[in-house]
Structure 1
Amino acid sequence: MSFGRDTLSAAIARHGRVARVVVADVQGSAPREVGASMLVWQTSKGFAQSGTIGGGTLEFEAAKHAFSAPRLQRLPLGPAMGQCCGGTVTLLTEVFESVAAIPEEIFARGPGDMPFSVKKALSKARAQGFITPKLHGDWMVEPITRATRPIWVWGAGHVGRAIVATLAPLPELAITWVDTSAERFPETLPKGVTQLIADKPEALMDYAPPEAEHLILTYSHALDFELCHRVLSHGFAFAGLIGSRTKWARFRGRLRDLGHTDAQIARICCPIGQPELGKHPQAIAVGVAAQVISGRKITESYGERTG
């Protein structure tokens, strides 16, 4: 897990002062790992949050007291919280009004002079290019997460909405969501999602970075086909199309007619996700999310799916 600087910045812009609660250390069994975190902000009814540190009494109490809790709390989950995990969790709670002082790569902070163990960890991180979240005495060290994977979702129908809602909380994903009118999108967009509206969405393909991953699932087979043609001409890291075997067979033939080779066409994954999970939008979203997270390309045929 990493420190989501962009996510925190967006929360501050929307809610003002935001408390961040992170699992800083774990001894024994616990519901979440070191680095798991949640954001908490005050509302007229008390508090609200995003993210999770494991649920249950631990999470409720941490969120409820986020603006008054000590910076570090060591909590036995059994005796103190009545949770069955039985381990001990140390929580670090910090309140932010700005991200200006938070660095771009690694966030190391604590009281007093920086301990030698932190200096050693930072030196090792510079040499190896990565660092894991860890509590060093009273000092916490975390890598900073930035949205580094551009995901373009073409279509804001039921499946598109389910997929975006499932993927949006992942801090490394920079999601661009495209459709033909504002009415096709939900009233409130998930945080961090960029909305693009165009009468001819296919014309926006030229603006997608060549390393983008594309999920094509519009309301129109004609538009789906045009997007497949354009993504093959444009360049991409991954492209997935929702559709049945019949739809994809027709698309393959027409794409060949436009000059695309079989090897190029085979780079488009159809159907996307894990069709054996079912056709419900949320089931499709779960399969697609697993595919995106793992980076797997699923090419086997699992039967017909309406596209």
Structure 2
Amino acid sequence: MADSVLVSVSRTTGSVPREVGAWMAVTADGFTGTVGGGHLEFDAIARARRALEGDALEAEVRYPLGPSLGQCCGGVVWLAFERISADEDLATRLPRPPQRPVALFGAGHVGDAIAHIARDLPLDLHWIDSREGQFPDEPPAYGWRQEVSNPAADAVDDLAPGSAVLIMSHNHAEDFDIVAACLRRQRERGDLAFIGMIGSRTKWASFRQRLEARGFHQDDLARVVCPIGVPGVAGKQPAVIAVAVLAQILSLVPTPASA
């Protein structure tokens, strides 16, 4: 590994292209990440590379996004610059934007698609399945947790407060038990941000009757979203469903860490 300069958005005012915590790592011949593109990023890369060649490095630089930079956002961005030596672990130095906890029950085709797309999103994933050997072989993303829980519903009590729960296990009986456990937790703590289940309206109608028979009321059942996914997205391919579901999760406001 070569020396690099870590560039991150430290402060903002007004309309800006990226949020506080966005970052890029610049080396002498490349870079990864982005702080917003355009002339802002061009200047940041040039400044970082001059520092790698021996120039002094300012800790923070103010960038008004107006005519002088040729960007029409109109706000102001402060970029922080930090030199990282080749023997340091860059991953431990990266700033992190607010992360929403997501509990994903099920490591089938759709669950796997959600997990792969979620790697690039501001989400902390707690991925649960009742079966051994269902998770992919590659290491989980930073901050992720993978858990085998049999029965899966037993994991509900330990979910992070503010979690958005996605239920898509390998059978309907398990889905039902997870939904019931989530509703019991909502009665006791009221701290789950979202409870969504994959399936048809017919599946949910059947579940509603059974949940009512177990003593859950209309106010309880109104907390469950089924089918999940933003409306209007057609297609049943796992990746299509995953995009629709994650868009729905990202639309939840505010995120717990920024509330």
For Structure 1 versus Structure 2, the TM-score category normalised by the shorter chain is 0.5 to 0.7
In structure 2, list runs of 5 or more residues that go unmatched: 187-191, 254-259
**For residues 229 and 36 of structure 1, do their structure 2 counterparts lie closer, same or farther at Cα, with a shift above 3 Å needed?**
closer
Deviations 1:116-143 (A, max 9, x none): xxxxxxxxxxxxxxxxxxxxxxxxxxx9
**For residues 57 and 167 of structure 1, do their structure 2 counterparts lie closer, same or farther at Cα, with a shift above 3 Å needed?**
same
Greater relative CO, 1 or 2 (CA 8 Å, sep 6+): 2
Does 2:160 align with 1:233? no
Partner residue of 1:20?
A: 6
Match of 2:127 among 171, 177, 183: 177
Deviation, structure 1 residue 90: 6.8
Partner residue of 1:249?
A: 205
Letter in 1 for 2:108: G
Partner residue of 1:263?
A: 219
**For residues 19 and 244 of structure 1, do their structure 2 counterparts lie closer, same or farther at Cα, with a shift above 3 Å needed?**
farther
Partner residue of 2:257?
A: none
Partner residue of 1:35?
A: 20
Does 2:241 align with 1:291? no
Deviation, structure 1 residue 92: 3.4
Report if aligned partners of 1:165, 1:190 keep a CA contact under 8 Å in 2.
no
1:192 is paired with a residue whose SS is coil
Report if aligned partners of 1:76, 1:86 keep a CA contact under 8 Å in 2.
no
Within 5 Å, give how 1:81-230 maps onto structure 2: 85=71, 91-96=79-84, 97=88, 145=97, 147=99, 149-171=100-122, 173-179=123-129, 180-185=131-136, 187-209=138-160, 211-230=162-181
**For residues 270 and 92 of structure 1, do their structure 2 counterparts lie closer, same or farther at Cα, with a shift above 3 Å needed?**
same
Deviation, structure 1 residue 165: 3.5
**For residues 56 and 249 of structure 1, do their structure 2 counterparts lie closer, same or farther at Cα, with a shift above 3 Å needed?**
same
Count of paired positions: 232
Deviation, structure 1 residue 94: 1.3
Letter in 1 for 2:6: R
Deviation, structure 1 residue 264: 0.9
In structure 1, list runs of 5 or more residues that go unmatched: 1-14, 103-142, 297-307
Q: Write the distance in 2 (CA, Å) between the matches of 1:25 and 1:146.
A: 15
**For residues 17 and 263 of structure 1, do their structure 2 counterparts lie closer, same or farther at Cα, with a shift above 3 Å needed?**
farther
Deviation, structure 1 residue 86: 7.3
Deviation, structure 1 residue 153: 1.0
Q: Write the distance in 1 (CA, Å) between the matches of 2:229 and 2:199.
A: 11
Q: Write the distance in 2 (CA, Å) between the matches of 1:26 and 1:91.
A: 9
TM-score by length of 2: 0.67
| Bigger mean CA deviation after superposition, 233-242 or 280-289 | 280-289
Deviations 1:24-77 (A, max 9, x none): 6899997x24636224387xxx7663x422357875885695672743678899
| Bigger mean CA deviation after superposition, 32-41 or 62-71 | 62-71
CA RMSD for the aligned pairs? Answer: 4.2
Report if aligned partners of 1:273, 1:288 keep a CA contact under 8 Å in 2.
yes
Q: Write the distance in 2 (CA, Å) between the matches of 1:250 and 1:28.
A: 49
**For residues 197 and 57 of structure 1, do their structure 2 counterparts lie closer, same or farther at Cα, with a shift above 3 Å needed?**
farther
Deviations 1:134-175 (A, max 9, x none): xxxxxxxxx98554x43211112232233234444444x432
Within 5 Å, give how 1:2-17 maps onto structure 2: none
